[in-house]
Amino acid sequence: MMTNRFRLTIGQLNATVGDLQGNADKARKAWEAAKAAGADMLALPEMFITGYQTQDLVLKPAFCRQAEEEILKLAALCTGGPALGIGGPWRDGEKLYNAFWVFKDGEMIARVLKHRLPHKQLFDEWRLFNSGPISGPYPVAGARIGSPICEDSWSPDVAETLAETGAEIMIVPNGSPYHRNKLDLRMGHMVARVVETGLPLAYVNMVGGQDDQLYDGASFVLNPGGHKVVQLPPFQEMLAHVDFTQTPDGWRAEPGLMAPQPDEWEQDYQAMMLGLRDYLRKSGFSKVVLGMSGGIDSALVAIIAADAIGPQNVHCVMLPSEYTSQTSLDDAADCANRLGARLDTVRIDGARDAVADALADLMKGTEPDITEENIQSRLRGLMLMAISNKFNEMLLTTGNKSEVGVGYATIYGDMAGGYNPIKDLYKTRVFETCRWRNANHRDWMMGPAGEVIPTRIITKPPSAELRPDQVDQDSLPPYEILDAILDGLVERDLSLADLVEQGFDADTVRKVERLLYGSEWKRYQAAPGPRISIKAFWLDRRYPLVNRWRDKL
């Protein structure tokens, strides 16, 4: 019997890689809610049972077998209600597929296999999966559903084949990671599919942090012509029920929730906050510790941490020497106080003098240089790691993308730690993000509202304070210039000639390139941090550690 209504429940949910049972339980709860809402189908994201991305974990036969068993157990429990669509692996002999499994009353009615495997930027699915044939549509409650899996919807061929073979509604399961302004990019591709096929489309995306990747949800529904009728918020777990009605022109989605999409400053901030929150939660940590220098980077990391897990779980430690200014001591205390975070002080002079004494014979006859500066930084790393070990608080590192880019950080010193929330944020954006946070508070932030970062921290010249009267611009170009050059070299792969043509000084450009390539080995050992750009170090930009090539001018 034909019906003129089809209700879809979109499960914009947060899976955890490897937590097969936990992900199945989450799917079961969502199915129960869909059943209570009278839905015809629950659609969950790509590879939901395993979490995403699994990387090489999915190549373990035991892991794949258990994931498939978990899917079948879940399907057997989900009877007498809506159809269940869930992403997970499928091994067929020697071949392994990224699949979307669809069940009704415990019986499998379709197993759609991903055809187009992404292999650029942060993806390497060619390494893991086999490409499946383009699948046809499957029937659910009187409608014929086509499900291009994520990348399958970014080109015309899969959707076109589905339309030609009778699909009436497209439901696209995704593990589509966040980067700045990603929604506009996705929307452009999905509107094209809808215009080409004349079919409505529901885009079902995962949400949550996984290592250094973030999934922003922001699921949506389009009607033919590319008209958006449903838009879910970013970075928020939720279920949404969408009604499709049969019309003389085919199925059409009824208008539903239209959540506003925040600007890029808010989305980036929420991405960094959620990346940290999920990394801690999924790793089993509930508290963090960080070195609070009185500078802008550690202040921003402290507030991101306070927003992620609450100020009472943020432990700030000031580690002064005689080079630490009174201004820095005051600013660190002021910021921690505004946040409501604990601040302790551990001096490093005694430990530094002990190291100097121990090395005195070996170092005899040499002049003090960066070696002695780095000893201070490494002692801070040593003490912070000791606190981390003793109190089970994850140590956060605080190097921004500009510093990480040119190696203006001490390996095993201020680079020591488990996670870096601002790893993909250039210094100029650090300043702007601090101003944004001072002016904005949202209900998803656990930290206090108001001016949490003192103005003086934002306006004073940045300094490592490892020698008298040191400022960053002694060693580096001004951050406005440095960031613009790094953006050219890293984000846009420009040549030195391109940058000089844009008006940058030739020697400065050469120096930045030399520092960028020369610090590759440091980044290889750096803590993970949330990807918010299209060229995050290591995930999107993978360079040899030893590399003698330098561009010519």
Examine the residue annotation and report whether 367 is marked as an active-site residue of this protein: no
| 153 among annotated binding-site residues | no
| 374 among annotated binding-site residues | yes
* Residues 6+ away with beta carbon under 8 Å from 72: none
| 488 among annotated binding-site residues | no
Set 26, 114, 401, 423: catalytic member: 114
| 291 among annotated binding-site residues | yes
Candidates 173, 150, 153; CA nearest to 163 is 153
- Pairwise CA distance, residues 184 & 190, whole Å: 10
Indicate the pairing of strand 95-104 with strand 83-92: antiparallel
| 309 among annotated binding-site residues | no
| 295 among annotated binding-site residues | yes
Q: 461-474: b or e for each residue (b if 16 or more CB lie within 10 Å)?
A: ebbbbbbeeeebee
Candidates 98, 96, 86; CA nearest to 61 is 96
| 403 among annotated binding-site residues | yes
DSSP code of residue 424:
T
Set 70, 78, 104, 150: catalytic member: 150
Q: Are 532 and 271 in contact (CB under 8 A)?
A: yes
At 211 the three-state DSSP class reads coil
| 176 among annotated binding-site residues | yes
Between helix 296-309 and helix 427-439 the angle, nearest 10°, is 50
Whether residue 470 has a cis bond before it, omega within 30° of 0? no
| 292 among annotated binding-site residues | yes
Examine the residue annotation and report whether 68 is marked as an active-site residue of this protein: no
| 32 among annotated binding-site residues | no
Q: Are 129 and 165 in contact (CB under 8 A)?
A: no
| 463 among annotated binding-site residues | no
Q: What is the DSSP string of 362-423?
A: HHTTPPP-HHHHHHHHHHHHHHHHHHHHHHT-EEBP---HHHHHHT-S-TTTTT-SSB-TTT
| 275 among annotated binding-site residues | no
At 453 the three-state DSSP class reads coil
Set 26, 46, 282, 465: catalytic member: 46
| 522 among annotated binding-site residues | yes
Candidates 248, 201, 256, 243; CA nearest to 224 is 201
Radius of gyration of the chain (CA): 26
Examine the residue annotation and report whether 287 is marked as an active-site residue of this protein: no
| 226 among annotated binding-site residues | no
DSSP code of residue 176:
-
| Binding site members for L-glutamine | 176, 182
List residues with catalytic annotation. Answer: 46, 114, 150
| Binding site members | 176, 182, 291-298, 374, 398, 403, 522
| Binding site members for deamido-NAD(+) | 374, 403, 522
